[in-house]
Amino acid sequence: MKHYFYLFAFFFSTFLMAQTATDSITLDPQNQLNAAQRLLSGNYGSAVTIGAYGEMLYNQPEGDNGELDVQRLVLLLGYRFNDKAQFITELEVEHVEEIYVEQAFVNYNVANNLNLRGGLMLVPMGIVNEFHEPTTFNGTERPEMDNVIVPTTWRELGVGVSGKFNNLSLGYQAYVFNGFKSTQSDGEGGISGFLQGSNGLRGGRQKGIKSTVDSPNLATKLDYYGIPGLRLGFSTYFGKTQAADDIENLDGANIGISMLGLDARYAYERFTARGQFIYASLSDTDKYNALANKDLGSAMQGYYVEGAYNLLPSRNEQKLFAFVRYENYNTHADTAGSLLQNEAYDRTDVTTGLSYHIAPGVVLKGDYQFRDNALQGDGVKDRLNFGIGVWF
């Protein structure tokens, strides 16, 4: 452990020698915008807007060799056709070899408090799925519950509405999406499944890639920002998974999903905090597991709380946040039929470290994660992480 702390101290003492301007991307939750919102806001004052964000990370599990990775590089493009119609897209390269379209939608401003949207969009669940640019969250890695339960980055094809009622300090979103893909024929007379106990619904994301849709799903979110420094969110997602046409009538080919999320972000002077709770109830998982030979739980639950404090004076242009985050997430919060709960899926992470914002849109991160699960003697390895994040 000692060599980790020496490396950690050297890493950040080197960073502290730099003198640059403050991060221009606000951390005030009431005014914070994600990448798509910044493009839609027209803050560059032109018809065509461009931007990008990216992350370069180093991860080293305790006792293992470390790994360096260009985790993601995302190109942001927006076009304003007129005062009403805009187009937003994000093109993402992951690990220098995988290319995805993360968002691609048309936004039409009907009125001051009403926008119509259609295309590939983020599902508004929790915090990080919408605000995942590296300068907007502490920690080298995103919270793990936002990977296995939400699951970030969760985007699908759909249509819907969004807007704000500023007199009520209330923002809203409501979309109809295609759902997760649950099963398909394996080509040999059997059925393969995309959903499983270890990471829940994550494997069923369709991401706009020749997506199957036979039962539309509804996603909504309300954001309240009427108290200075505080932003509260309430998210819902209801629907069914999608199966290939040739097997959708088989018993267990699809499951039902009901997901609820609560989130809060707070900032006061040099202190910031955030928290999130997600609960998902899945129906007909016993039939699905029997059909696809999987171990999907019938309920998933996760939460985290995080506090951070800027160690530099408020008048300084730079920010150096020391933070700690506690999270618990269980993809086997409940099981159906004869499936027993796997205690290895009941996981707890404690992450502590520093986020150093050295310039507008540039953050240097370092943290250590104490990782555990409820299975006695499982030996989950702690992890040291460093990273560089940019967003402009």
Domains: count for the chain: 1
The answer to whether residue 234 is domain-embedded is: yes
Strands, DSSP E only, in the chain? 48-61, 67-80, 85-94, 98-111, 114-122, 155-165, 170-177, 181-185, 191-193, 217-224, 230-240, 242-243, 256-268, 271-283, 299-310, 319-334, 346-359, 362-373, 383-391
H or E element in which residue 14 lies: helix 2-15
The answer to whether residue 373 is domain-embedded is: no
The answer to whether residue 84 is domain-embedded is: yes
The answer to whether residue 20 is domain-embedded is: no
The answer to whether residue 380 is domain-embedded is: no
In which domain, by residue range, is 175 found? 25-308+327-346
The answer to whether residue 3 is domain-embedded is: no
The answer to whether residue 210 is domain-embedded is: yes
| CATH code of 158's domain | 2.40.160
CA-derived radius of gyration, the chain: 21
- pLDDT tens for each residue of the chain, 392 residues long: 444 444 334 333 333 333 223 334 577 888 888 999 989 987 555 789 999 999 999 999 999 999 999 999 999 999 999 999 999 999 999 999 999 999 999 999 999 999 999 999 999 999 999 999 999 999 999 999 999 999 999 999 999 999 999 999 999 999 999 999 999 998 787 899 999 999 999 999 999 999 988 889 999 999 999 999 999 999 999 999 999 888 989 999 999 999 999 999 999 999 999 999 999 999 999 999 999 999 999 999 999 999 999 999 988 889 999 999 999 999 999 999 999 999 999 999 999 999 999 998 999 999 999 999 999 888 899 999 999 999 99
What pTM value is reported for the model? 0.90
